[in-house]
Amino acid sequence: MSWYQFRPYVSVAKRRQQAAVTAKKMAKQGQALSPVQPEGRAIAKSFWGQAWCTNLESYSDYSNRLPRGRTYLRNGSVIDLQIAPALITGLVQGSSLYKIRIQIESLPGSRWKSFCTDCAGKVTSLLDLLQGRLSKGVLEAITRPIEGLFPTSKQIKLSCSCPDSASLCKHLAAVLYGVGTRLDEKPELFFTLRSVDMKDLVTAATASATQSSATHGGDRSLDGEDLSALFGVDVELPAVDAPLRKSDPELPKKTKKPTKSVKAAKADPVPVATVQVKKASVPRKLRATSSVAKKASSK
């Protein structure tokens, strides 16, 4: 048969049988395959998977071959799909085993940097980013044609080992749709494919928060109100140059032999936070009795 003639039709059941044989043979050779097949009728269900498929379907020059690609993917014909920086490779079981190679231009560094700057403070969690739990503005920026994060058709180079002369055969279409299904499972592979580090978005958010904190005065030390709320008592921070007055009730009484703690307090002029705890009220009779007892013991 000539290379430019199409091979005879092979049923879905036959293709699946051939795919199983191929996978088993390659496994014996030490080559692990990573097949992809959507569950149910939907090709993709997550934000990243659906956004990938929507972008793919926006290519007008691909429209006539995409339906056959969806059928091949749903039938389990994509028996291997690998995603690497700027490269997608795959194996599709048709009337024969076809090798797929799709090169995608890396996202320009200037566009990625600009995107991170525009989204600073809006993407604060990698989990939210991967699950697509982002604001409407960020989602629109991601999916914006040409200026967004998804590639255009001119940035994609397609190659398939099948004899189809079309720029996009059904085998290539099946693998491209398979990327959307794979992103449902591993959305981080989108950033791998575009050759960018998704952590840059969170780093930009952290830098923005730090700058905002510095603009508003940065971290402030705790004041009396903060300590009171923290410890549940009244806390007073005395002024550094405020000397004790003789009339001050807190001034300690003169004694002949000051204790070591008093000496240490005099030697250390650094003011410390004092905790004011209200004294429990004592009846006058008890206080009088206590003073009489003290005089009697001193005699």
Pick 200 or 260 by higher pLDDT.
200
- The conformation of residue 160, written as its DSSP 8-state character, comes to E
- For the stretch 101-112, pLDDT in tens is 999 999 999 999
257-279 pLDDT per residue, tens: 555 554 444 555 545 444 454 45
β-strand partners of 235:
275
Give the number of other CB atoms < 10 A from CB of residue 143.
Answer: 17
Write the secondary structure of 61-108 as one string of H (helix), E (strand) and C (coil). HHCCCHHHHHHHHHCCCEEEEEEECCEEEEEEECCCEEEEEEEECCCC
CA distance 17 to 139: 41
The alpha carbon dihedral of 266, 268, 274, 277 has a sign of negative
CA dist 17 → 40, 77, 81, 94, 107 (Å):
21, 10, 19, 11, 39
At residue 294, does pLDDT exceed 70?
Answer: no
C-beta of residue 45 within 8 angstroms of C-beta of residue 132: no
Note the pLDDT tens digit of each residue in 214-252. Answer: 444 444 333 444 434 433 434 344 444 445 455 555 555
3-state secondary structure of 219: coil
Listed by start position, the domains of the chain span 12-214, 224-298
Rounded to 5 degrees, what are φ and ψ at 270? -65, 120
Region 57-64 average pLDDT: 84
What pLDDT does residue 259 have?
52
Per-chain mean pLDDT for the chain: 76
